[in-house]
Amino acid sequence: MTEVSVAKEDAVTADELVVLSGVNKHFGPLHVLQDIDLTIGRGEVVVVIGPSGSGKSTLCRTINRLEGVDSGSITIDGDPLPAEGRALARLRADVGMVFQSFNLFAHKTVLENVVLGQVKVRKADRKRAEEKARALLDRVGVGAQADKYPAQLSGGQQQRVAIARALAMDPKVMLFDEPTSALDPEMINEVLEVMQQLAQEGMTMVVVTHEMGFARSAANRVVFMADGRIVEQAEPEQFFSNPRSERARDFLSKILHH
Integer-rounded Cα Rg, in Å, for the chain is 19
Query: pLDDT digit string (tens) for 132-172?
Result: 999 999 999 999 999 999 999 999 999 999 999 999 999 99
Cα–Cα separations (whole angstroms), residue 137 to 28, 166, 195, 223: 41, 11, 14, 31
Give the residue-averaged pLDDT of 234-240: 96
pLDDT for 7: 39
Q: Provide the strand spans (E) within 28-140.
A: 30-41, 45-49, 71-76, 79-80, 95-98
| pLDDT band at 14; cut points 50, 70, 90 | low
* 99/104 Cα distance (integer angstroms): 10
Angle at 129 between CA 127 and CA 131, to 5 degrees: 70
pTM summary value = 0.90
Instruction: Kindly report the average pLDDT of the chain as a whole number.
Output: 91
Residues 49-78: what's their mean pLDDT? 94
CB 109 within 8 A of CB 152: no
Listed range (32-46, 88-102, 149-163, 208-222) with the worst mean pLDDT: 88-102
Higher pLDDT, 7 or 230: 230
Average pLDDT over residues 56-71: 94
In the chain, what are the domains?
14-256 (3.40.50.300)
Contact 192, 212 (CB under 8 A): no
